């Protein structure tokens, strides 16, 4: 790797630049993962910052968490018989049941993916 230098006054400074960062939003679960790594695994956090892999990791965690929540919510809704018939008959009951399924799915995903 060749390093070039630029003279500023009497000193030569290396021409260093960071590689481009991903510009996607890290989302709710990415922010949770970042906080967890920073507080509970500071060595891993520092290493990922130095290797420039932290942002992509957080984006991947957020994407995976959202996909798993959707999948688990769908499975729980099917298992508990939350159908379109209930939605047509009693929308508030359908919303209550779906919110319950989603909350349980989020708890599971946070424990399994975000806080691993």
pLDDT category at 49 given cuts 50, 70, 90 is very high
Q: What are the residue boundaries of the structural domains of the chain, listed by start? A: 26-114
How much is the average pLDDT of 56-78? 96
Q: What is the pLDDT of residue 1?
A: 63
- Which residues, in sequence order, are CB contacts of 85 under 8 Å at separation 6+? none
- In the block, residue with structure tokens 């230098």: 5
H/E segment holding residue 11 = strand 11-14
Average pLDDT over residues 52-77: 96
């Amino acid at each position: 790797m060749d390093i070039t230098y630029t003279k500023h006054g009497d000193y030569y400074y290396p021409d260093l630049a960071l590689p481009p960062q991903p510009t996607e939003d890290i989302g709710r679960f990415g922010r949770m993962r970042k906080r967890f790594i920073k507080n509970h695994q500071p060595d891993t956090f520092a290493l990922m910052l130095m290797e420039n892999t932290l942002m992509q990791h957080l984006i991947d965690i957020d994407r995976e968490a959202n996909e798993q929540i959707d999948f688990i919510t769908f499975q729980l809704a099917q298992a508990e018989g939350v159908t379109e018939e209930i939605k047509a008959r009693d929308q508030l009951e359908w919303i209550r049941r779906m919110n319950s399924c989603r909350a349980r799915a989020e708890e599971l995903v946070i424990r399994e993916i975000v806080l691993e």
